Amino acid sequence: MMPGRLLHRLASFLIPADVRERVLDAQLADFQYEMSHLSGCADRRLALMRGYAAYWCALVLCVPAMARMAVATLRSWTLDRSILVVGVTIATMLLWAGSLSWVRTGSVQWAEAFGAVSTAPMWPMLVSMLVIRYCSRRRGVFGRLLVSAVAVLPTMFLVKALGQLRPGDARFEPWANALAIMMFISLASRVDPARHKR
């Protein structure tokens, strides 16, 4: 099997297309070419290690480019899109906090929402971002909101049921938030601004 296929898939999910094609795909293509032209077991092992190390190094170095693109994309967002994303984020946080307090105490305590904004992992919000992106063909704010809500609620309960990434779990929180922020940047930067211009 050709090495780097999984990494290529990972990059196509995380990294904007033009950065991926210019940087990561070029690196992977050379890596695959090198691997296919080596015959010795030791040489192949060495090339494999060097190739993977180089790939992860390049991936990390792509983060500023991703951030630049995300900022450029966010600037081009229309007002209704911005309102939609902010609204879905706040609604998700409130639902997240409310449902948690309901599980613990049997009553909804909305005051917990303020704490949740700063501490909760942003997975449900990311799901909504993903849904908004892939359902952007659906016209109208309410249509997108409805689709997002339908997608977010099961995700919230699934994440909570797994009991792994819940607010207050110090082991997972920093990693979850860091990954969530990376995914947010990635998702935001993958939106084609021309498609949303009115």
Partner 1 sequence: VKSDIPRLSATERMILDLLAEREMFGLQLVEESKGDLKRGTVYVTLGRMQEKGYVESWVEAQAAGAIGLPRRLYRPTAYGLSVLEAWAVAARTLKRRPRLQHA
Binding site for partner 1 (CB under 8 A): 2, 4, 8, 19, 22-34, 36, 50-51, 53-58, 61-62, 65
Name the minimum Å distance from CB 71 to partner 1.
15
Q: Looking at beta carbons only, is 21 or 80 nearer to partner 1?
A: 21
Cβ–Cβ under 8 Å, residues 108 and 101? yes
List the beta strands (DSSP E) in 33-191: none
Name the minimum Å distance from CB 15 to partner 1.
11
Q: Looking at beta carbons only, is 34 or 173 nearer to partner 1?
A: 34
Q: Looking at beta carbons only, is 32 or 99 nearer to partner 1?
A: 32
Name the minimum Å distance from CB 70 to partner 1.
16
- For 128, residues 6+ apart whose C-beta sits below 8 A from its C-beta are 88, 89, 92, 148, 149, 151, 152
**Short-list 142, 122, 119, CA closest to 132:** 142
Contacts of 50-55 with C-beta under 8 Å, sequence gap 24+, read 51/3, 51/4, 52/3, 52/7, 54/27, 55/4, 55/7, 55/24, 55/27, 55/28, 55/31
Q: Looking at beta carbons only, is 55 or 96 nearer to partner 1?
A: 55
**Total number of residues shown for the chain:** 198
Name the minimum Å distance from CB 14 to partner 1.
15
Name the minimum Å distance from CB 180 to partner 1.
24
